[in-house]
Structure 1
Amino acid sequence: MTLALALLGVGGVALGVFLPRALALGGLALLGAAFLHAWEEGLLAGPAQVALVLGGLLALRGKTLLERPRLKALGRYLGFLALALGLFALKALPHPGGGLPLALTLFHAGAFLVGYLALAVGVGAGVMCALQDLRLRRAPERALEAAPLWSLRRLEMGYLRVGYVATTLGLGSGMAWAFGYFGSPLSLDPKEVSVLLGWASLTLYFLLEERLRGYPRAGLLLLAYALLLFAFLGAPFLGSRHPSRLQ
């Protein structure tokens, strides 16, 4: 139960990048996991418990700051710290071992399937939007010949958010999967590392979306999707220990 709440908390904090309510729910889940851990193991029994408490409190405070336009950047910063602490707690918590139910496997695969499909559309629209914005800044008279930026932007953010949520759920369930196979939610496995880097790149994109323009914006989107594609197409050839590796 402690592990499940911690995973739920990390997922909530991750979604809090653009959903303040999810950040608050994630913080409460982290605090709940800390309470259960203290109930089972004793007060201050290990660094995981401390990380869960700190992460939960930072997430709750970050949620209140996100609601203030002038302090939104600070709120996102606190959310990022809460996420780092939550991931550390997952690493420090003991794993239960044993096989994982089929339902978790189907959920994991389904989440990434939705994530790949949604991100394919969102990344494509985002790259087109970034390049078109750059072109129109150089030659405004060409606006009549190009697709409206607001249409591309709406398409981009709609699909990117769906893809980001699905990828977060897939990554979280993958961490639970890793408990059974690797003995740790985080492992230096090519598949897991590339997914984690791709998800982190998407998170960075959402954090910096108001400041990124032109080639840096398009490049970050392409890098994130390339890392996720590498996890699916390239990592199995590098000796990945993931259960779906090629034989």
Structure 2
Amino acid sequence: MTLALAFLGVVGVAFGVLLPAGLSWGGAFLLLGALFHALAEGPFAGPAQVALVLGGLLALRGKTLWDRPRLRPLGRYLAFLALLLGLFALRSLPHPGGDLPLLLTLFHAGAFLVAYLALSVGVGAGAMCALQDLRLRLAPERAVAAAPLWSLRRLERGYLRVGYVAATLGLASGMAWAFGYFGSPLSPDPKEVSVVLGWLLLTLYFLLDERLRGLLRAGLLLEAYALFLFALLGAPFLGSRHPSGLGF
């Protein structure tokens, strides 16, 4: 139970970077994990319990600061510290090893299936949108025959959001998978590394959003999608320790 609550807490805090309400849920799960650990092992029984308490309190405090615009950078800093403490607690807690439940496996594979489908459309529309924007600014007469910018933008935003959420859920469940097999939610496995890097580039894309234009915008999207494709098609040939024979 402690392990499951700690994992939910880490996922909640990670979501809190984009959805501040996640900090509240993440902090509550981390503190519940610390409570269950204290009931089972005794108070302050190991560094994991201390990390869960500190992480939970920092996440809750970060949420209160996030609601105050001038103190939001401090809230992000506390959220980042809470995430590090939660990951440390996950690494320190004993893990059962062996296969994870079938439902988690199906959820993981299904999430990435949706992510790949949505990102294929969203990235294609986003790249076309960036090029169309570049044409409109440099050579407007060449943009007349291309697809309307507003239509491409709608496709890009809708599909990229679905793909990003699905990829986040797939990555989170994959971290649980890695934790069960390797003893750590993050490992130097080529499949996991490429997915994490692709997810970080997508996160950067959403954070910068309107500041990105032209070839830089298209390049960031295509690079993120290339990393996801590498995880699916290339990583299995580099000795990936992914426990299934699937490409997800």
TM-score, scaled to structure 2: 0.83
Q: Which amino acid aligns with 2:12?
A: G
Q: CA deviation at 1:139?
A: 4.4
Superposition pairs for residues 105-124 of structure 1, below 5 Å? 105-124=105-124
Q: 1:83 to 1:139 in 2, by over 3 A?
A: farther
Q: Distance in 1 between matches of 2:186 and 2:20?
A: 26
Q: Distance in 2 between matches of 1:141 and 1:120?
A: 29
Q: CA deviation at 1:84?
A: 3.3
Larger radius of gyration: 2
Match of 2:25 in 1: 25
Superposition pairs for residues 190-209 of structure 1, below 5 Å? 190-209=190-209
Q: 1:217 to 1:6 in 2, by over 3 A?
A: farther
Q: 1:100 to 1:230 in 2, by over 3 A?
A: same
Superposition pairs for residues 1-247 of structure 1, below 5 Å? 1-69=1-69, 71-139=71-139, 146-245=146-245
- Extract unaligned runs of 5+ from structure 2: none
* Secondary structure in 2 matching 1:94: coil
C-alpha RMSD of matched pairs (Å): 2.7
Q: CA deviation at 1:47?
A: 3.4
Contact 1:129 1:153 survives alignment (8 Å): yes
* Secondary structure in 2 matching 1:209: helix
Number of positions where the alignment pairs a residue of Structure 1 with one of Structure 2? 246
Q: Distance in 1 between matches of 2:178 and 2:19?
A: 27
Q: 1:159 to 1:142 in 2, by over 3 A?
A: same
- Extract unaligned runs of 5+ from structure 1: none
Q: Which amino acid aligns with 1:177?
A: W
What percent identity do the matched residue pairs reach? 80
Contact 2:91 2:183 survives alignment (8 Å): no
Deviation string, structure 1 residues 200-233 (Cα, Å, up to 9, x no partner): 2222323333533333332222222211111111
Q: Which amino acid aligns with 2:138?
A: R
* Secondary structure in 1 matching 2:211: coil
Q: Which amino acid aligns with 1:24?
A: S
Once the two structures are overlaid, the 10-residue window that deviates more, 48-57 or 161-170, is 48-57
Q: 1:151 to 1:81 in 2, by over 3 A?
A: farther
